């Protein structure tokens, strides 16, 4: 399949190169994607540059209408997109449908925000003088996205960029180029001008990234992915002084106080932990449970985790899919082995799933570890797999200190029925997002992002479009009449 989209046309790589796209549930090849290099990337940047004057000069109402049309098309194609997403990335169909709904929300939200890019006037201290502030599209954007939410992570970037009047060169993860191509087809069918959205699929992130980084034309890099790569890209972006948005890794704590119902909290914790097979940046990585309900919570959590059904995402009744690849499987297995060797109690799982068809894919059993402590890898490394790490605490101060003992700062969660405690703890947590008795504190309408090594900037909400706008101050001498 030709998966490069440059200046409004689908194309193959210049040398015809391609790479295999694998089904993570079976390891089989489902298709091939075009493997672009530096030359195709330069053409995509040039196309985005060429389209920028016209796209940015269109009325906000025109851009808004294109995004609303893309929203309509995405929902029209929801079932086919969900099947593709489930096949290419592995998540169960129900979760895939949820992701498409979430992805479409960004298109409609930013279609509306396009019409609300206001400026302002500032009173001057000088007579006969005016200050006006304009917010203008910053130009060509490069967007680099991960495989775990391969459709919504794209609309979360493309929608605000297009709404603001910017044009974009998109480089999706190499595991999920087909989902990216399907989203770009929707944007093209919605009537966006040629060159406004360009897609570079590649198995060579280095040379493609290099072109995007060293280009003076690219004025902004928006990245979602690991902290390690994010730090590199942010540092390199400084060479051309690009704006950056960095949505990076997380190590979310979930604090369960003993005034909460342990069964209700365990239900929420299981849903949040095993969502997307634990491959989510906001997945709870440390579950801190107050000693009074520690045992009851662990029992309920383990019972619920044991009821999860692993398998191919399209199989009815499956609630947990495969990991994305063999490297992910190895990382999870190493964390479990390390924790058990240092004294963690394995309450459930702890091994690769290899019965029948599962042997062909990258399946790992939903795993529960209790009595995890600071000495273990899982306590500091992002897990990105179906392994729950549970540990006890005694009081509120200890819980907050333990929760904050990480360089990451993306999501955090609190279960409590004490209003004062909910307020105190949510204010004390050093994270960009806090869910109070809430395992899904996200929406297109709300700002999403982290602090610390979890990143810079916010996506979604009213803040999301600011990331694509430059602020211009106009001082004007009006003089006496």
Interface contacts to ligand NAP, rule CB under 6 A:
144-149, 153, 171-174, 205-206, 209, 224-226, 229, 247-250, 281, 382, 410, 450, 455
Q: Please identify, using beta-carbon distances, which residue of 382 and 467 lies nearer to ligand NAP.
A: 382
How far is 5 from 126, CA to CA, in rounded Å?
52
Q: By C-alpha distance, which of 218, 249, 251, 248 is closest to 236? A: 218
For residue 184, which phi and psi values (nearest 5 degrees)?
-65, -35
Q: Which of 40, 88, 99, 247 is catalytic?
A: 247
Question: How many Cα neighbours within 13 Å face the side chain of 189?
Answer: 14
How far is 158 from 167, CA to CA, in rounded Å?
9
For helices 177-189 and 60-76, angle between their N-to-C axes, nearest 10 degrees: 130
Q: Which of 166, 179, 281, 298 is catalytic?
A: 281
Q: Please identify, using beta-carbon distances, which residue of 293 and 323 lies nearer to ligand NAP.
A: 323
Q: Please identify, using beta-carbon distances, which residue of 70 and 323 lies nearer to ligand NAP.
A: 323
Quote the least distance from Cβ 467 to ligand NAP, whole Å: 13
Q: Please identify, using beta-carbon distances, which residue of 347 and 434 lies nearer to ligand NAP.
A: 434
Annotated active-site residue 281? The verdict is: yes
Asked whether 255 and 414 are in contact (CB, 8 A), the reply is yes
Quote the least distance from Cβ 201 to ligand NAP, whole Å: 9
The DSSP secondary structure of 111-145, one letter per residue, reads HHHGGG---EEE--SSTTEEEEEEEEE--EEEEE-
Give me 348's structure tokens: 């459930």
Asked whether 139 and 221 are in contact (CB, 8 A), the reply is no
Quote the least distance from Cβ 325 to ligand NAP, whole Å: 10
Q: Please identify, using beta-carbon distances, which residue of 34 and 145 lies nearer to ligand NAP.
A: 145
Residue nearest to ligand NAP (CB): 209
Annotated active-site residue 298? The verdict is: no
**Which residues are CB-contacts of 182 (< 8 A; sequence separation ≥ 6)?**
77, 81, 84, 151
As annotated, the active-site residues are: 247, 281
């Amino acid at each position: 399949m030709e998966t490069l989209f440059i200046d409004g046309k689908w194309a193959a790589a210049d040398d015809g190169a391609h790479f295999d796209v694998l089904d993570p549930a079976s390891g089989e090849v489902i298709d091939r994607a075009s493997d672009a290099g530096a030359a195709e990337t330069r053409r995509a940047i040039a196309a985005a540059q060429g389209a920028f004057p016209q796209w940015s000069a269109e009325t906000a109402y025109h851009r808004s209408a294109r995004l609303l049309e893309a929203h309509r098309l995405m929902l029209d194609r929801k079932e086919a997109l969900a099947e593709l997403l489930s096949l290419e990335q592995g998540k169960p169909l129900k979760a895939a449908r949820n992701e498409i709904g979430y992805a479409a929300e960004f298109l409609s939200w930013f279609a509306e925000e396009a019409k609300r890019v206001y400026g302002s006037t500032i009173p001057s201290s000088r007579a006969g003088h005016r200050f006006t502030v304009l917010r203008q599209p910053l130009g060509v954007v490069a967007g680099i996205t991960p495989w775990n939410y391969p459709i919504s992570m794209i609309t979360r970037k493309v929608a605000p960029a297009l709404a603001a009047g910017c044009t974009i060169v998109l480089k999706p993860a190499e595991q999920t180029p087909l989902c990216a191509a399907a989203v770009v087809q929707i944007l093209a069918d919605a009537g966006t001008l040629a060159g406004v959205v360009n897609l570079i699929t590649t198995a060579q992130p280095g040379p493609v990234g290099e072109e995007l980084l060293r280009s003076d034309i690219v004025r902004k890099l928006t990245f979602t992915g690991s902290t390690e790569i994010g730090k590199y890209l942010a540092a390199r972006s400084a060479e051309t002084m690009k704006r950056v948005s960095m949505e990076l890794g997380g190590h979310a704590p979930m604090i369960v106080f003993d005034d909460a119902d342990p069964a209700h909290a365990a239900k929420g914790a299981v849903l949040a932990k095993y969502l997307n097979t634990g491959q989510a940046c906001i997945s709870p990585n440390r579950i801190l449970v107050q000693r009074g309900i520690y045992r009851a919570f662990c029992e309920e959590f383990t019972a619920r985790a044991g009821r999860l059904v692993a398998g191919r995402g399209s199989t009815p009744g499956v609630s947990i899919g495969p990991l994305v690849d063999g490297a992910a499987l190895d990382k999870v297995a190493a964390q479990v082995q390390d924790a058990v060797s240092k004294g963690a109690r394995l309450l459930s799982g702890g091994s690769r799933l290899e019965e029948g068809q599962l042997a062909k894919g990258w399946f790992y059993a939903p795993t529960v570890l209790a009595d995890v402590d600071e000495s273990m890898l899982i306590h500091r490394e992002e897990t990105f797999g179906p392994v729950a790490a549970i540990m006890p605490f005694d009081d509120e101060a200890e819980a907050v200190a333990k929760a904050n003992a990480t360089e990451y700062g993306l999501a955090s969660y609190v279960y409590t029925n004490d209003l004062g405690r909910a307020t105190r703890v949510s204010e004390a947590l050093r994270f960009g997002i806090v869910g109070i008795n809430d395992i899904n504190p996200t929406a297109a309408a709300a700002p999403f992002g982290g602090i610390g090594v979890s990143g810079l900037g916010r996506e979604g909400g009213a803040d999301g479009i600011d990331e694509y706008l430059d602020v211009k101050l106009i001082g004007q001498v009006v003089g006496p009449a």
